[in-house]
Amino acid sequence: MKTKLFQEKKFFLTLLTSILIISIVLIIDYKKTLFVHETGHLKILGGGLGIILAIGLILKWKYIRQILGVLVLISLVAVIVMAIGSSKEFLLSYSILLSTLILIAYFLLFSKSVKDYVNSKYID
């Protein structure tokens, strides 16, 4: 008997990763003042591109884990540099963003469940 896709642990970790990516993109787009002053500019994970790639993760696109992993690592380095160079008023928000990016990087690059889900071919 085959299990349903949404009943697998692999699917839930992949869905959690996609939700985290989408939430980071949306929070940065709509609540920019949490991270920079009103006149500043901040884009992480490419805005709309991040949402498309997060959906591609659920749809099991080829090489999507590697592409998202590289984008998350670049974003991770950028957030570290911004946190070091910014004022103390943004330190808490950068810390939360940094911890979320570390969690996403772990799921994308080192989680066996996400790797197995993306590499598997689901046929019902």
Q: What's the CA dihedral at 29, 77, 21, 111 to 10 degrees?
A: 180
The per-residue pLDDT for 91 is: 87
Residue 9 falls within a domain, yes or no?
Answer: yes
Q: Does some domain include residue 29? A: yes
Please calculate the CA angle 15-111-8 and round it to the nearest 5 degrees. Answer: 45
Count of structural domains, the chain: 1
Is the predicted pLDDT of residue 104 greater than 70, yes or no? yes
Confidence (pLDDT) at 29: 85
User: Is residue 124 situated within a structural domain?
Assistant: no
Is residue 8 scored above 80 in pLDDT?
no
Average pLDDT over residues 74-92: 87
Higher pLDDT pick, 86 / 109: 109
63 in any annotated domain: yes
**Quick one: pLDDT at residue 123?**
45
Average pLDDT score over residue span 68-83: 90
* Domain presence at residue 35: yes
Q: Residue 15 falls within a domain, yes or no?
A: yes
Helices H / strands E in the chain, number of each:
5, 0
Give the C-alpha separation, 82 to 96, whole Å: 13
pLDDT of 113 over the 70 cut: yes
pLDDT tens track for 30-74: 887 888 777 777 788 777 888 999 999 999 888 999 999 999 999
What value does the mean pLDDT take over residues 84-113?
Answer: 89
Residue 73 lies in a domain: yes
Residue ranges making up the domain that contains 90: 5-119
Question: To the nearest whole number, what is the mean pLDDT of the chain?
Answer: 85
